[in-house]
Amino acid sequence: MPAAVVVYYSLAILTLASAVLAIVHNPRWYWAAALLSWVVSFMGGFSIGLFTLVLTFVFLALALGYQFKWIKTRLHAVIATLMGMAVWAVAIATVDDAWLFFPLAWVFERVF
């Protein structure tokens, strides 16, 4: 099994673990979940990358909502989730893939 596959699945598991920690323990874990899901989306960019990018936008919306104390009820969390999905839909329809992943592409190009 190639090392990239192991890294991909490890990061995907860490993303899910961060999301669970954010839901159960502390909403600050949404920041880690957003960053990890962005890397997972980048690594899966040739197949399902843009579809998994929705998780990044949802986690960012939730992280921002909790950071600024806008989310006080479950309804607020649902609204933030829907807003993240809406921003994702606009982003993948209007922004080129290269710009969505530009910082990661630059880092990966330098490292590998």
How far is residue 50's CA from residue 66's CA, in Å, rounded to a whole number? 25
pLDDT one-digit tens code per residue, 16-58? 999 999 999 999 999 999 999 999 998 887 677 788 899 999 9
Mean pLDDT (whole number) for 54-71: 96
Strands (E), the chain: none
Q: What percent of the chain has pLDDT over 70?
A: 95
Work out the number of other CB atoms within 10 angstroms of the CB of residue 67: 13
Provide the residue ranges of all domains of the chain, joining segments of one domain with +.
Answer: 3-111
* pLDDT greater at residue 102 or residue 26: 26
Pick the more confident residue, 96 or 13.
13
User: What does the alpha-carbon distance between residue 33 and residue 22 come to, in Å, rounded to a whole number?
Assistant: 8
